[in-house]
Structures are given as structure tokens and as C-alpha cells.
Amino acid sequence: MSKEELQNNIIKARTGNQNAYKYLLNAFWVSVYNFLLNKTKNEDEAEDITIKTFAKAFDKLTIYNEGYAFKTWLITISKNIYIDHLRQQKAETISIHKDDNSIFDIQDSTPSIEDKIITAQNLTQLLSYIKKLKPHYQEIIQLRYFQEMTYKEITQELSEPMNNVKVKLLRARKLLAEIIRNSNFKK
């Protein structure tokens, strides 16, 4: 890929051109995914963070500085998302002291009653937002996040190429974020 071709696709993507998004996704997916797979050692986690990376990059494409390599910019975004991901994974721990002064840290992963109520309310609100999407976007979000299908399973279910599924999921997430953002502004 030439530098000129890359720059042209970045400019087109900034205007919302779907083919330019696909071009950038195809050109840099493997690099970002492999970087994250090396960090996470988990294919599903690496795919999820890669998707988040491209979603964030496409949202922030207007602030991309052409003075830096696009690949480096993407890797930096993915690294930051990965660090946030690690922070979120840290669960609360309870320390238990034994008579011999040894300490055991045990994860307390049981949700409180309040957590369960908040989760149910948030899920209801999220479902109402998802219903505002077009049916094909609703379907892909349903398959990925509620049925917890892998990207490979989704491609088989929808009989679509992997890259189409990834782009459609990126677009669905972006539209859903806009719906949520707009409804929060109206409150």
C-alpha cells in the first residue's frame, strides 16, 4: 500500500466513506490483532479489543496527525484500550488471615442486590436503545453480545465474509453509541 493510497482512504473515511473504512480495517487488522494477541494470549479478547480499537480510531479519525504513522497511532490506541481492559478486570478482593499469619486474597464476584437491580435497569435501557437500530444491526449485536457468538460463528450464521461482519459490528456499535449519547443529552 502506498502512502498516497493510505492518505486518500483516511480522507475518505473522515467523510464517512464505508469503503475507506473497510480498506483501513483490512490493511491494519492483522497488525493490531497480532499485537493484542501477543498481550492477551486470548483470541476472543484480542478480537474484542481490536474491534474497540478500530471503533475508537474511526471515531477520532479527525484528530489523527499525519505526521505519525497510521499503524503506530492504531497500536497506541489499542495499547491504551488494553490497559483500560486490564484495570476493569481487577475485581474486589477480600483478605482472610489465618492463625499462622498467612493471608489469602479471595475474589468477591457475587453481585449485591443493588448491583442486580442496576444491571436489570441498565439492560432494559440498553435493549430499548438497541431496538432503535436497523434490524441487521440489531441482529449482529444480538449474536455477538447476547448470544456471545465468536466472529467465526457469526460469519457462518449470517453467511457473510469475516470483514463484513467486523465492519457491520463496528458500525452497529458506533450507531448505538450515538443513540445513547443523544438520549443522554435530551435528559
CATH architecture of 3-89: Orthogonal Bundle (1.10)
- Give per-residue pLDDT as tens, 171-184: 888 888 888 888 76
The alpha-carbon radius of gyration of the chain (Å, integer) is: 20
pLDDT of amino acid 94? 46
Band of pLDDT at residue 29, cut at 50, 70 and 90 = very high
Q: Does domain 131-186 have CATH number 3.90.1820.10?
A: no
Q: Which amino acid is at 174?
A: K
Q: What is the Cα–Cα distance from 28 to 1, expressed in whole angstroms? A: 11
Q: Domain-by-domain residue ranges, the chain?
A: 3-89, 131-186
In the predicted model, what is the mean pLDDT of residues 75-81? 92
pLDDT surpasses 90 at 33: yes
